[in-house]
Amino acid sequence: MAGLNVPGLQPVQQAVEAVGHSVSDDLKSLAALKVEPDTLKSIQSEYIQRATELWNQALTKPEAMTVSDRRFAAPEWTQSPVSAFMASMYLLNAQTMQRLADSLNGAEKARERVRFAVQQWSAAMSPSNFLALNPEALKKAVETKGESIQQGIQHLMGDIRQGHLSMTDESVFEVGKNVATTPGTVVYENSFFQLIEYAPITDKVHAKPFLFVPPCINKYYILDLQPDNSVVRHLLSEGHRVFMVSWVNPDESLAKATWDDYIEHGVIQAIEVTREITGAEQINALGFCVGGTMLGVALATLAAKGRKPVASLTLLTSFLDFAHTGILDIFIDEAMVRMREMTMGPDSPQGGGLMKGGDLASTFAFLRPNDLVWNYVVGNYLKGEMPPAFDLLYWNSDSTNLPGPYYAWYLRNTYLENNLIKPGAVTVCGEPLDLRRLDMPTFIYGSREDHIVPWESAYASTQVVTGPRTFVLGASGHIAGVINPPAKKKRSHWVTGAKVKQLPTDANTWLASAEEKPGSWWTVWADWLRDHAGPMVAAPKQAGSRKYPAIEAAPGRYVLRKA
């Protein structure tokens, strides 16, 4: 296409050429990968030795064969020598393939992509995933006279109709009935979000209200699942006046919405409405995941205009610095970003589009294929079982779309080019972005086993913001680590060591001197937030204000819209 000059198609032509060059470079990187001859010889020798041992054991002492993997934990796997040998050989093959992938020399991103491909292949080829090779599923089929297979087929057809794999019994849950049940009122809405004001549960509240900014790639009610694990309800019990952004699930009417639109008409507008309703000069605000990135950008943009409406900032499992994005980095390169820009960015032929929520959900699920994909394939379809009811997994399946221009801008300026931490590298809402303007007290939280926002990258925000900083590390992952109410007395968290006077630049240096505490990190955060929330005043008698009267009861219409 380089020799063509078709009016109006130059951006597309340039993008196609850039994609071609990028793919060519990626193929060269993959072709250049190699395993050192001595390493290859050692892996081959060990494989042959272990395979021979397994074969001999299967012939001489089949009853002694064991399989140390939870996919084969059912007694049926070891009761059958053939199944035990098959599972053992599969594990040996998978481990050997992974060792070969780990031993590759070459470009790091190419190596990571091979590792990921091997992980996906290994997970998919497990004998537990095939009815004919799964003795547990076969036994159940015999015992139920085929009813389990019939149920499995019905589950499969149901999942095909709903467009996603069932991770929980979704019929048990209904938003507003048994999830997202904290009483509140929608007091504002525009085409991007509804603002919920929750009813106080204490006679007095802190003078500075609190605003939640959840990620717009998910529904807000992860912060308000059940009464006993609701972050919202916990804050209310602490005497805070709480507001929540409930993002709309975009349809074609928002297909051309940009990053700037979400910052200006979303985050900044939510801050202003919260201030107007409460009459507070400053509020406290929290951003979760992408919501934290957006909130940080919005506050830096406001600071560039000389406005500082937020007294304290909380960032939960959020990126500001995208230098190290973990496993998600393998998906992001110039070719991928250019393709998104071509098909759904502002310069695409149609000027926009939608990134389907189901596609995003599938990508995140395959980051942990055994836990979030194949486990349910086996249970739902091969055994005909309905997965147990679990509110967090119900929320996880309630996916949302994203406007294409927003998504394309986000990919290029965060994961691909890490522009947010480069002062003046991007302009947001007409202002050059400089995150060093975030000089308010900031509480930063990371989850130690987070595969979406590695905790070291969450910690990196301590080197971006310039005000007083507090960092806390929680156990578990991206969601389970955050949703950890104190009453459950589960897990633990790490706080800065008593002798540390200043947060070090390196995350692991911080961890080496951190102090582990039992239970939830919520109590540390609540104590910190109390110091920034102002004096206690009488709780409001009703939601909203004269300018922003009540619209409807929480959870509102927007959260009910399906992708």
Does some domain include residue 156?
Answer: no
- 68 and 193 co-located in one domain: no
- 122 and 202 co-located in one domain: no
Does some domain include residue 189?
Answer: yes
For residue 210, the SS3 value is strand
Does some domain include residue 103?
Answer: yes
- 374 and 479 co-located in one domain: yes
For residue 244, the SS3 value is strand
Residues 560 and 554: beta-carbon distance below 8 Å: no
Q: DSSP code of 489?
A: -
Nearest CA among 238, 309, 321 for reference residue 267: 309
Q: At what angle do helices 334-344 and 10-31 cross, to 10 degrees?
A: 150
Would you state the pLDDT for residue 107? 87
Does some domain include residue 467?
Answer: yes
Residues with Cβ within 8 Å of 17's Cβ and at least 6 positions away in sequence, in order, are 1, 2
- 100 and 220 co-located in one domain: no
The pairing of beta strand 515-518 with beta strand 492-495:
antiparallel
Would you state the pLDDT for residue 198? 98
Query: What six digits make up the tokens of 498?
Result: 């008593």
Residues with Cβ within 8 Å of 11's Cβ and at least 6 positions away in sequence, in order, are 347
> What CA–CA distance (Å, rounded) separates 511 from 103?
29
Distance of CA 156 to the CA centre of its chain: 26
Q: Side-chain half-sphere of 59: how many Cα atoms within 13 Å?
A: 6
- Would you put residue 465 in left (φ > 0), alpha (ψ -120 to 50) or beta? beta
- The Cα-based distances of 40 to 34, 113, 447 in angstroms read 10, 20, 37
- 382 and 452 co-located in one domain: yes
- 89 and 234 co-located in one domain: no
Query: What six digits make up the tokens of 312?
Result: 């304290």
Query: What six digits make up the tokens of 159?
Result: 């999942």
- 112 and 236 co-located in one domain: no
Would you state the pLDDT for residue 27? 62
> What CA–CA distance (Å, rounded) separates 293 from 319?
6
> What CA–CA distance (Å, rounded) separates 507 from 257?
36
For residue 404, the SS3 value is helix
Does some domain include residue 258?
Answer: yes
Q: At what angle do helices 37-60 and 81-102 cross, to 10 degrees?
A: 170
- The Cα-based distances of 221 to 62, 229, 283 in angstroms read 51, 11, 21
Q: Is the dihedral of CA 369, 371, 376, 382 positive or negative?
A: positive
- 96 and 196 co-located in one domain: no
Query: What six digits make up the tokens of 62?
Result: 């089949």
- The Cα-based distances of 536 to 205, 207, 209, 531 in angstroms read 5, 6, 11, 12
- The Cα-based distances of 115 to 22, 72, 101, 170, 248 in angstroms read 20, 23, 5, 34, 37
Q: At what angle do helices 108-124 and 81-102 cross, to 10 degrees?
A: 170
Residues 200 and 236: beta-carbon distance below 8 Å: yes
For residue 178, the SS3 value is coil
- 64 and 188 co-located in one domain: no
Residues with Cβ within 8 Å of 281's Cβ and at least 6 positions away in sequence, in order, are 275, 309
Query: What six digits make up the tokens of 59?
Result: 């012939």
Does some domain include residue 167?
Answer: no
Instruction: Note down the domain range covering 277.
Output: 184-323+357-400+418-560
Does some domain include residue 266?
Answer: yes
- 292 and 386 co-located in one domain: yes
> What CA–CA distance (Å, rounded) separates 459 from 506?
8
Residues 534 and 221: beta-carbon distance below 8 Å: no
- 502 and 389 co-located in one domain: yes
Please report, in tens digits, the pLDDT of each residue of the chain (563 residues total). Answer: 343 343 334 444 444 444 454 455 566 776 788 889 999 999 999 999 999 999 999 999 888 888 889 999 999 999 999 999 999 999 999 999 999 999 999 888 889 999 999 999 999 999 999 999 999 999 999 999 999 999 999 999 999 998 889 999 988 999 999 999 999 999 999 999 999 999 999 999 999 999 999 999 999 999 999 999 999 999 999 999 999 999 999 999 999 999 999 999 999 999 999 999 999 999 999 999 999 999 999 999 999 999 999 999 999 999 999 999 998 888 899 999 999 999 999 999 999 999 998 888 888 888 889 988 999 999 999 999 999 999 999 999 999 999 999 999 999 999 999 999 999 999 999 999 999 999 999 999 999 999 999 999 999 999 999 999 999 999 999 999 999 999 999 999 999 998 888 999 999 999 999 999 999 999 999 999 999 999 999 999 999 999 999 999 999 999 999 87
**Domain end point (choices 116, 133, 150):** 133
Query: What six digits make up the tokens of 173?
Result: 């849950």
Query: What six digits make up the tokens of 105?
Result: 């020399």
Number of structural domains found in the chain: 2
- Cis before 62? omega within 30: no
Does some domain include residue 216?
Answer: yes
**Domain end point (choices 106, 133, 160):** 133
Find the distance separating the first CA and the last CA of the chain, reported in whole Å.
36
**Domain end point (choices 102, 133, 164):** 133
Residues 367 and 451: beta-carbon distance below 8 Å: yes
- Active-site choice (138, 175, 195, 289): 289
> What CA–CA distance (Å, rounded) separates 199 from 224?
14
Q: Which CATH number does the domain housing residue 488 bear?
A: 3.40.50.1820
- 268 and 361 co-located in one domain: yes
216 part of the active site: no
